[in-house]
Amino acid sequence: MFDALSIGATGMQAQQMNVDTIANNLANVNTPAFKKGRVSFTDLMASEARNVLGDQAPDAASVAGPLGAVPHLGGGVGIASVGKVFETGDLRQTGSPFDVAIQGDGFLEVTMPDGSRAFTRGGTLKVNSDGLLTTQSGQVLKPGITVPSNATNITITSDGHVSLTVPNQATPVDAGQLELVRFSNPQSLTALGDNLYRASDDSGEPIAGKPGQEGIGTLAQGVLEGSNVKMVDEMVNLMVAQRAYEASVKVVQASDEMLGMVNNLRK
C-alpha cells in the first residue's frame, strides 16, 4: 500500500507535466513557426516481489505459473522525454519580402548575442542598425547578409540566393547566399524560446547545405509558416491527460483508505 501511494504520485506528477505541455501548445496555436511539444512516458524500474515480501513471498511456481519466474512489481511512470514535433505548419501568404518560411526540413542558423549558435525555422526578418539581416528578435543570420540603407527591394530565391535592387543600378545586386542546416534527430533539440533551438548531444551536430539539396527544404519568400498545433488534437489529449490524472488520484485515495482500515484493526 505504501508502494501504491508512491506509484499514484508518479502518475499524478507525470500527467501534470503532460497537461503543462498541452497548455503551452494551446497557448501558441497562433505563434508563427511554433512546434508543438510532446511528452513521452516510460515505466520506472521494477523490483522483484520476492525482495519486497522477503521470507513471506510464496514459491515462484505457485505465483508465476509453471515457468517459475519471480513476479515483478512496477515502480510507476516517469517522463522519458519532452520533445518537439517538427511537422511543417500551414503556410500563409503575406506578400512581405521580409517574411521567409522553410518548406520541408531545415533550419536557419543565427548568431546569439554571446556568440553561440542557434537555429530557427524562419519568420519575419528585419535589417538591424549595422545593415545586417536578422530575425525579428535581433539574431543575425549566418552567413551575414548586408542590406544597404538605400536598397529598394530584396529578393530571396527558393535556393537561398539574396539579391537587392539599389538606385542607379540596372540589374539586381547579389547580396549573398543563405544556407540551411538539418539534424539527424531534430526532436532532441533544446528549445530556447522565441522559436530558437540549440543543438544537444542527442540531436547531433548541424549538417549544413544549400536549400533544396541533400534532403534540406527550400525557402519561400512572402510566406509565413504557422504553428503545427491542431486545436482538436490538443483538446482530446487534454481530456485523456485529465482522466489519467484522476485515475492516479483514485489510486492514492484507495490506498489511503486501506491504510486507515489497517490502523483501525490495530486498535
| pLDDT value, residue 50 | 47
62-102: pLDDT as tens digits = 444 444 455 667 788 999 888 899 999 999 999 899 999 99
- How many angstroms from the chain centroid is the CA of residue 88? 13
User: In sequence order, which residues have a C-beta less than 8 Å from that of residue 76 and are 6 or more positions away?
Assistant: 6, 7, 8, 9, 10, 11, 43, 44
Among the listed residues 137, 123, 144, the one whose alpha carbon sits nearest the alpha carbon of residue 227 = 123
| pLDDT value, residue 62 | 47
Q: How confident is the model at residue 16 (pLDDT cuts 50, 70, 90)?
A: very high
17-29: pLDDT as tens digits = 999 999 999 999 9
**Average confidence score pLDDT of the chain:** 86
Q: How confident is the model at residue 142 (pLDDT cuts 50, 70, 90)?
A: confident
Which secondary-structure segment (H or E) carries 140?
strand 140-142
Residues 260-264, mean pLDDT to the nearest whole number: 81
Q: How many helical (H) and strand (E) elements, i.e. helices and strands, does the chain have?
A: 4, 20
182-223: pLDDT as tens digits = 999 998 899 998 889 999 998 999 999 999 888 899 999 999
Phi-psi region of 131 (alpha: psi -120 to 50; beta: other; left: phi over 0): left
Among the listed residues 109, 106, 104, the one whose alpha carbon sits nearest the alpha carbon of residue 119 = 109
230-246: pLDDT as tens digits = 999 999 999 999 999 99
31-69: pLDDT as tens digits = 999 999 999 999 887 655 545 445 554 554 444 444 445
